[in-house]
Amino acid sequence: MKRFEIENTVIVPALAMRGLVMMEKMSLHFDVGRKKSILALQQAMANDKKIFLVAQKDVMTEDPKPEDLYKVGVVAVIKQMLKGQEGVVHVMVEGLCRAKIVEYLEQNPSLVVELQECTVSKRRAVTVEEMEALMRVVKSLFESYSLLVPKMSKDIILEALSQDTPEGLFEAIAYNIMIPFEDRQELLEANSYYKRLKLLTEILQRESEVLSLERDIYEQVKEQMDKNQRDYFLREQMRVIAGELGEGEDVKEDAADLFDQVAAIQHISEDDREKLYKEAERLSKCPPQSQEANVIRTYLETCLELPWDTVTVDTLDLKKAERVLNRDHYGLEKVKERILEILAVRKLAPDIKGQIICLAGPPGVGKTSIGKSIAETMGRRYVRLSLGGVRDESDIRGHRKTYVGAMPGRVINALRQAKVRNPLILLDEIDKMGADFKGDPSAAMLEVLDSEQNNAFRDHYIEVPFDLSEVLFITTANDLSTIPAPLLDRMEVIELSSYTREEKFQIAKKYLAPKQIKKHGLISKDIVFTQEGVYTLIDRYTREAGVRKLERAIASVCRKTAKKKLMDGFKRVSVNARCLEEMLGPKKYAVAKAAQEDRIGAVTGLAWTSVGGETLEIETGVYEGSGKIQITGNLGDIMQESAKIAVSYVRGIAEQYGIASDFYKTKDIHIHAPEGAVPKDGPSAGVTMTTALVSALSGIPVRHDVAMTGEISLRGRVMQIGGLKEKAIAAFRAGIHTVIIPYENKPDIAEFDPVIQKGLQFVPVKTIDEVLSVALLRPERQEDLPAMLLPESEPEQAALISC
């Protein structure tokens, strides 16, 4: 606790000082502008010219309250007071003694306080030797400090070093150094000269370190400025000399302009800037008609066209984004939800980097247009790069500028086209890149799509690292299996599945038909697409996962309608099934329908194709013979292996289904998949082949309203498959009622369209025995069949899910 030597109390006006601390025995000049402070001065002049000067804690406080002021200040006498311009008063005061505020008597219109005088104790709390040591330390620190302070008066230094009392040493130093007012207030509040000198050592030590750092920084800046000025001076001399000689004036001017443009770039390291400086300097020395001058000029112009400092501000309005996505795309609810989640995260964490999105799905489902919609919602520039067929690594990284016809890679060109540092770049068909003797472009993409590396992407032509971390990359792909694993690992995959029949209908009515009607110069009164007509276009004239062929078919109808309108004078065309046959000719595709009766040796399987799901019939014939197995239907190696596994497994369960145990010796088996012109492969037909084989060998018919998919193991386990959504759509389209699926695919059902969930019954199975118990109609088990399908059956048995 501080101890004060208290004498008489006094009542004097007070003045709050901003950024200044008055010390006893100190003379000070300052200006007063606040009305309350001027009134305090006038009140002091009217009495005995004494005023209490106290510092306020925050210099920004305009009308300080008692809690805004320090408790300890100095009573001073006003020596001179002059009125200046604009109401400012110039004051000169001289400190008398230190005092502490006891009570605030008045706060308005001016401050009046009651004070208790408190002097600094001169009693020695330490030994003479300790005080002498402290004084020597203070003098040494002050001497070091004075060497760092510019223009420090020698008289002040000599006066301080010649003091032999603590009081004189403190006053000679503390009154003549520039320190923050908080430190000066702390010195004022110290109760003894030993404490004051101790505080002074800490302040001098800290200020010396700060001044030393300031001097080092100043020297570095000065050295750099001197070098730049010297280079500029020499460059100007070279320009003047070249101008006097009349040599390469145009080249010199171009080099100077390019030099100024390089100097204006902000987001570039000094090493890279120096490299561009050197190129500009080389240009200034080249003969104007030389090939090298043209190469350097083209290189510098390309570098300066890059958007080093230009960025756009993201507009992450989720409601607007949802409106734009719903306006441009029908369905795709899961995809839209994922995109909105990504935008929400970017809004909450603007500095997040490294999100590389891959939109994967069959052709024509809207991958490219979704990327364009994202750019619109975020307010970013949109650039599309088609990577299909790219085989040369230089297409990504560029060519060395020493080659004839060298140019930057596609990524750098995209940034030049966007003219901003943070565009949205759509890398279209990333799965179509190839590799040859010129290199592997997918390996070059590893750096582009890696957030840990692309902040310093180095193009072979530019040779200066460019920051790609602010670019939002979106890639599209049809087949993820063709993308190298390291490249796929850098991307967040969003799956876009094929459209259902109902989704195609809604897209045609809301988007495709109005667009094509307007595009072909028609109006809504000229042509009407009926519900029957649109469904006929979808089912009988197109077969695809997306809607491109459907749009072309609608465009063909609109063209023929325009011709009829002009030649035959039709006023209105109603597009229905009969009208479509007249316009587009006979129907191209037959609608796959489920069999109408139970059959032996014929099973409906489900397959995935690049244009969506399809039903796949597996037929099995058994004939007298010597155990030959024939497999036809343009089947791939994997499907042929599945057929062999099916035969081996049936040998193990032959007795259970009344099959002769030596059938593999006495019977010839023929397994066939119709539509032999279409190649087929994959493991998901294993359960279908096994069921068809058991049915053909045992004579037990297969339910006609059941379709199935799943891979089979040699021990009869049904394993997970892919493309279940597309396969379910195909089963629904064909009129199938029950679909047998692997148990591990059960969670996929939640992702299906509600129409598919309600229209089909999914039976998850774990073993082939469960498949056979559902699909085969054994007379002795026909009454037990419904019980097998009930959810209350044993957990290991198949459970029928009615969705």
- Cβ proximity of 471 and 375 under 8 Å: no
- Cβ proximity of 669 and 621 under 8 Å: yes
DSSP 780: G
- Distance CA(428)–CA(723), nearest Å, equals 22
SS3 70: coil
Q: 560 catalytic, yes or no?
A: no
- Distance CA(627)–CA(608), nearest Å, equals 32
Q: Which helix (H) or strand (E) holds 295?
A: helix 291-305
- Distance CA(649)–CA(643), nearest Å, equals 10
At residue 430, what are phi and psi to the nearest 5 degrees?
-70, -20
Return the closest-CA partner of residue 630 out of 646, 643, 648.
643
Helices (H), 700-797: 724-734, 754-759, 768-775, 785-788
CA–CA distances in Å: residue 504 to residues 74, 332, 335, 360, 590: 88, 12, 17, 19, 18
Q: Give Cβ neighbours of residue 105 (< 8 Å, ≥ 6 apart).
A: 11, 112, 113, 114
Which is the catalytic residue, given 684, 695, 698, 773? 684
Give the chain's length.
803
Residue owning tokens 């539509």: 675
Which is the catalytic residue, given 139, 549, 667, 727? 727
Return the closest-CA partner of residue 306 out of 211, 409, 182.
409
Task: Give helix 193-245 / helix 181-189 axis angle, nearest 10°.
Answer: 160
Helices (H), 379-492: 394-397, 410-418, 441-448, 485-489
CA–CA distances in Å: residue 184 to residues 10, 60, 196, 602, 708: 24, 18, 10, 101, 89
Q: 208 catalytic, yes or no?
A: no
Q: Which amino acid is at 640?
A: Q
Alpha-carbon torsion, ordered 291, 296, 299, 301, to 10 deg:
-110
Secondary structure string (H, E, C) spanning 326-390: HHHCCCCHHHHHHHHHHHHHHHHCCCCCCCCEEEECCCCCCHHHHHHHHHHHHCCCEEEEECCCC
Q: Which two tokens stand for residue 549?
A: 């062929």
Burial of 404 (0-12, 13-18, 19+ CB in 10 A): exposed
- Distance CA(5)–CA(21), nearest Å, equals 21
Return the closest-CA partner of residue 650 out of 701, 715, 592.
715
Encode burial over 93-107: b for 16+ CB neighbours within 10 A, e otherwise: bbbebbbbbeeeeee
Q: Which amino acid is at 74?
A: V
Q: Which two tokens stand for residue 402?
A: 């020493």
Residues catalogued as catalytic: 684, 727
